[in-house]
Amino acid sequence: MRSSLPRRARQKEQQIAKAMAQLEQQLGHPPSEEEVAAALGWDLREYQEALRDTGGQLLYLEDLSADNASFAGTYLRDEGEDLPTLLGAARFQRDLNEAISKLPEREKLVLALYYQEDLTLKEIGQVIDLTESRVSQILRQAVLRLRGSLVDWQEQA
């Protein structure tokens, strides 16, 4: 769970998600790792270490279903915040699908291999010729992008 992360890691996680959302709005496309790192005033290595330090918190396929409020409860809300009442709505599913469709191709591929094909991070790394650690970072980055997109939705609800 997110609450088990150290405070500093949660702060970094929030900084990254916020920077991604702001850059995507400014640029009109999902920002690259380099763009996010630059916006945060970090070099690429610092950014990738921050992704690693935010933990291996991943999403589970059942968390992505429109009728499952645990996704928002676990990944979107801040501690002490009430869940929005519209989480079960078809709009959430539509907006989630739209957010996924806007991800960079490599992140969509990693999500698909992990959640649809049920491959391990190591197996994904072998398929796309990356280290297991790098695959984990890409997956984490995709989760943060989705969280940023869905937080915007949550605020509108």
Query: No. of H helices and E strands in the chain?
Result: 8, 0
Phi/psi of residue 92, nearest 5 degrees: -60, -45
Question: What does the alpha-carbon distance between residue 156 and residue 148 come to, in Å, rounded to a whole number?
Answer: 13
| Full-model pTM | 0.61
Name which CATH class applies to 2-156: mainly alpha
The model's pLDDT over 41-61, given as tens digits with 9 standing for 90+, comes to 999 899 888 888 776 444 444
The model's pLDDT over 100-120, given as tens digits with 9 standing for 90+, comes to 898 999 999 999 998 888 899
The domain ranges of the chain are 2-156
Tell the burial category of 88 from Cβ atoms under 10 Å away from its Cβ (0-12, 13-18, 19+).
middle
